[in-house]
Amino acid sequence: MAQKEIYAVLVTLPNDTLLLPNSAVAEVLSSDRLQAAGGDAPAWLAGTVPHEGQQVPVVQFEALNGGARTEPTRRTRIAIVHGITGALRAGRFGVLCQGYPHLVTLNRAATRNTAQLDSDRKDLVLSRVRIANTAAAIPDFDVLEAELAQALAPATA
């Protein structure tokens, strides 16, 4: 029986890594296009970025997951991610990341489940996996998009 392979991307964050389906990442942009969020926005909402004629919300995933907010560096990029729930007007959102996401080909032999961190929000992080020497979080897009939609609702109402 042939092993099934999954194409995914590792998105490096300042203090963590996300594992996303390859098809979820639409594009990677420079962070110099980021327009900061307003004063009463949640700390995890970094702001918005213009993409394909729309303002796309940008999240700092670690801050949304209960960690500290970090300041962008010269390596900071914005991974534009296709939404899956329809909750976001733009249909996509950005994630602040460090450098460019790395394409990986996964199979059962290449990954193993690992324990969630005590600091992980159990509703936001579906699971964690280890791929070689890298531990990565698999986020719940339903929760992430719902929180983004809720944070943006006052500005669009």
Residues 97-125 have pLDDT tens digits of 999 999 999 887 778 888 888 889 999 99
pLDDT on residue 3 = 63
- Best CA proximity match to 126, nearest among 139, 135, 116: 139
Band (pLDDT 50/70/90 cuts) for residue 156 is very low
Q: What is the mean pLDDT of the chain?
A: 90
Interval 124-135: pLDDT, tens: 999 999 998 899
Residue range 55-66: average pLDDT? 95
Band (pLDDT 50/70/90 cuts) for residue 42 is very high
Q: Rounded to whole angstroms, how far apart are CA atoms 102 and 4?
A: 20
Q: Rounded to whole angstroms, how far apart are CA atoms 157 and 147?
A: 16
Q: Rounded to whole angstroms, how far apart are CA atoms 48 and 57?
A: 4
Q: Rounded to whole angstroms, how far apart are CA atoms 97 and 11?
A: 6
End-to-end CA distance of the chain: 53
CA dihedral 80, 144, 140, 96 (to 10 degrees): 40
Give the number of other Cβ atoms within 10 Å of residue 102's Cβ. Answer: 12
pLDDT on residue 48 = 95
Q: Do strands 6-12 and 45-51 pair parallel, antiparallel, or not at all (unpaired)? A: unpaired
pTM beyond cutoff 0.85: yes
